[in-house]
Amino acid sequence: MVIERNEVSKNDCWNVEDLFPDLGEWQQAFDKISAGKKPRWSQIAALKEDIENPETLKVLFDVYFAIERLLSSLYTYAHLRHDEDIAEEDHKIAYNRICTLMSDFSEETAWIEPTLIAINQKTLDSLLASPILAEYRFHLEKIIRIKKHTRSPEVEEVLARSCKAMQTSHKSFSALNDADFKFGKVENSKKEQLELTHGLYGSYIRSQDRVLRKNSFYAIHNKFAEHENAMCELLHGEIQSHFFNSQTRNYKTCLEAALFPKNIDVQVYHALIKTVNSGIAPLQKYMRLRKKLLGLDKMGLYDLNVPLVKDVDIHMPYEEAENIIIDSVAPLGTEYQELLRNGLKEDRWVDRYENKNKRSGAYSSGSYDSMPYILMNYNGILRDCFTLAHEAGHSMHSLLTHQNQPYHYGSYSIFLAEVASTFNEELLMQELLKRSKNKEEEIFLINQKIEDIRGTLFRQTMFAEFELTLHDHVEKDIPLTPLLLRQIYRDLNKKYYGPAVEIDKEGEIEWARIPHFYYDFYVFQYATGISAALALADRVTSGGDQEREDYLSFLKSGCSKYPIDLLKIAGVDMCSPAPIAAAIGKFSALVDRLELLTSAK
């Protein structure tokens, strides 16, 4: 039975009170910064006329980032409280109010970048060279870089005002997915009726009970199929917002609009798809092997997550997962290890278990002035342990960045976001393999690693290809319909998994429940991230002090350089297809190892 939020033990909840003691304290801070009528931040607007003066520009950046920093803390508290129980009215109101205030801030400051870009090049060069602006030089370089894609101050203000409307598709999807959709109960092979939620689905889909797996898969996806016209319109609306942005800012494509500001060439995206497509053979070999080992005449998508060893299914309590994750990061040094230990065990970074109306899934969040916060829906399966390691990797990346960078460089690009998280998953797998007690456990763990790479490299690349196809259709004014989306998704599944996997109508609708399709070309970074992470993990664990320090330097660098350049500091070049090919090679070797172990068995 899923419990109410007020029934959850304090020790199992994240320490949001460290950010603001309660909603009343948050409200006071909110009222202070939002006081008065619009424009709320007239001190910023007053600096506009003298923006070509380096002293004035420094003051502008100082004031701008100080306000944004406080808004970020207010937003973090509100969204964490909202995600604890998204049906709770007071927290929902607070969340919506801070979103509105942040939108107001964006509107009032939308003139800054276009005004800077409108300055003649000679003056811009002098600003870049000014020692007064040394701490903001790279930030200024990034603004100037998008000069040809920045509109007039008046147009930028309109675009900023449109942001709230543009969020409707994503917010509507989240409301349906996380609150409104109820999945009822599903029957297992013993005719027992079991409650089905997003959190429990992760356990059921891995169950050795095929009836439970199949019924859970059908129940989840049929709920989305009941609303597929609405889900199609929501996704279409999201992509239309991306198209609107790309057209308004004079980008050639939506993909270019998403990647150009981060200085990532669109060829990185296309090369990922091309390299993975050319390396699909090991994935299809694994599908054939999986079907054989499961003894199935027909294998469906609901059969792809069940462990291949029936007598081994590693479960562990939350505290045990914490301990093994802390032990696994030893290659990164004692300081890293102690920071993680304190965060998980003393500072209550993690909101551990599912409760009624809690946001599904998992994430790492926080602001520059807060501890990292990790949302979990922990159920004790091994996948949950890896998810905790994954989110802890994000959190440590954020913590080290915040400790070593000023606020304006205190975040990191989404292109880098999945590197640290997947790196820690690889360290956890190495630790678990060292502790495996017998061949059965080794098979189980190797299969788990194969599944990690399948899910993160191959599956996310398939998602990236789906996302690119949909954007291409919108750019060509081809209407997106439920039938079209089903067909595109079915064809991609068949291309990747091959004839060993049968795609039924419930599998065709899976696109409708993927939240990352609302994130504007996010998913490809899981695939590039795991490729970079595997290469860096091999480099660190087989190297010495220098290799470890190179990686830690990367974690401490935030967004002080472009993401491709930061990865080069760590020791990997993502402009080359080599890391992707190497990850596919690792996957192939693991499949061969699994085949050898299971044939000997």
* Token code pair at residue 234: 């929501």
H runs (alpha helix) in 227-280: 228-248, 254-259, 266-278
Element (H, E) at 502: strand 501-502
Q: Contact 358/83 with Cβ under 8 angstroms?
A: yes
The pairing of strands 363-365 and 373-375 is antiparallel
Element (H, E) at 137: helix 137-145
Q: How far apart are CA 337 and CA 177, in angstroms?
A: 36
What's the helix, strand, coil split of the chain in %, to 5?
Answer: 70, 5, 25
Q: Which residues pair with 350 in a beta bridge?
A: 374
> Following CA atoms 248, 250, 255, 261 in sequence, which dihedral angle do they give, to the nearest 10 degrees?
-100
Question: Is 391 annotated in the active site?
Answer: yes
Q: How many CB atoms lie within 10 A of CB 282?
A: 21
Nearest to 415 by CA among 255, 571, 563: 563
Q: What residue has token string 């109306």?
A: 357
What is the rounded end-to-end Cα distance, in angstroms, of the chain?
Answer: 39
Q: How far apart are CA 472 and CA 462, in angstroms?
A: 15
> SS3 string of 268-337?
HHHHHHHHHHHCCHHHHHHHHHHHHHHCCCCEEHHHCCCCCCCCCCCECCHHHHHHHHHHHCHHHCHHHH
Q: Which position among 108, 391, 426, 442 bears the catalytic label?
A: 391
Residue 485: Cβ-neighbour burial (10 angstroms; 0-12, 13-18, 19+):
buried
Which residues are catalytically annotated?
391
